[in-house]
Structure 1
Amino acid sequence: MRGSCLCGGVSFELEGEMRDPIACHCSQCRKTSGHYRAATAVPFDKLKVHSDSSLAWYRSSDYAQRGFCNKCGSSLFWKMEGEDTISIGAGALEAPTDFKIKTHIFTEDKGDYYEIEEGPEQLAKY
């Protein structure tokens, strides 16, 4: 499956199986994406970056960093230190994805301007 940022400065391909997206409602994800963030994940070695001329990383906590395009601002990746997987923003992937939201996490931190749809599992924390 292929994906990219809005301007095309970062393009990539994912190989193998991907999990259905987890929707994160934590304040960091909401601030970096403008809303909650839905992301799939793959083992790090299954992410093949074809173009990274504008890829930048921001250490958003003691345990994780976020990859984004420093030209168009697209939020693309989330990587936890010491883990062998990487999360990829589902919105950066080319359709069709055939994804369905699997779980909502950090729901106790969600924005006050929306409600979470019923159906997928909801976890106050993760």
Structure 2
Amino acid sequence: MKNGSCLCGGVQYTLTGALRPSVACHCVQCRKTSGHYVSATQVSADQLKITQDATLRWYASSPKAQRGFCSTCGSSLFWRHADDNGATSVMSGTLDGASGITTAKHIFVADKGDYYTIADGLPQHEQ
């Protein structure tokens, strides 16, 4: 079991079961919501329990996806696609303590910012 939260603690959650390796997304939407790129694990609906949601808000970032964030501190926490049967991507940096996961790959690198280089040797996918 892993716990996580936003910066101010207004949103808290618990994850159970095995966590997928983190995937680093460099798309424009992820860069705009985080200020850089996003790295996220993913869990099924039954693995995510939101234990505190007083400040949780959802933003429809596209017709098929929503982003969960804290309305007080602005932390980007979750991403979910309408077609994923409740699977939710959880921003890896919001996990408390050691996560026990590693980054597996980079996606949407064609959209990455020009101010950094990806040089970790992991697989890179243009989309």
- Report the counterpart of residue 60 of structure 1 in structure 2: 61
- The residue identity in structure 2 corresponding to 1:102 is A
Q: 1:102 aligns with which of 77, 100, 104?
A: 104
Alignment partner, residue 122 of structure 1:
124
In structure 2, what is the equivalent of residue 50 of structure 1? 51
Alpha-carbon distance, 1:118 to partner: 3.1
TM-score (norm 2): 0.96
- Read off the aligned partner of 2:29 and give its amino acid letter: Q
SS of 1:122's partner is: coil
SS of residue paired to 1:68:
strand
Residue ranges of structure 2 left out of the alignment (5+ in a row): none
- How many angstroms apart in 1 are the aligned matches of 2:21 and 2:70? 24
What value does the CA root-mean-square deviation take over the aligned residues?
0.7
Q: Secondary structure at the match of 1:112?
A: coil
* 1:10 corresponding residue in structure 2: 11
8 Å contact kept, 2:109–2:125: yes
Deviates more, 1:21-30 or 1:114-123: 114-123
Unaligned runs of 5+ in 1: none
| Cα shift at 1:56 | 0.2
Structure 1 length-normalised TM: 0.97
Equivalent residue number for residue 28 of structure 2: 27
Aligned counterparts of 2:120 and 2:10: Cα–Cα separation in 1: 36
Residue identity (%): 51
| Separation in 1, partners of 2:98, 2:37 | 21
| CA deviation vs aligned residue, 1:5-52 (integer Å, no higher than 9, x gap) | 000000000000111100000000000001000000000121011100
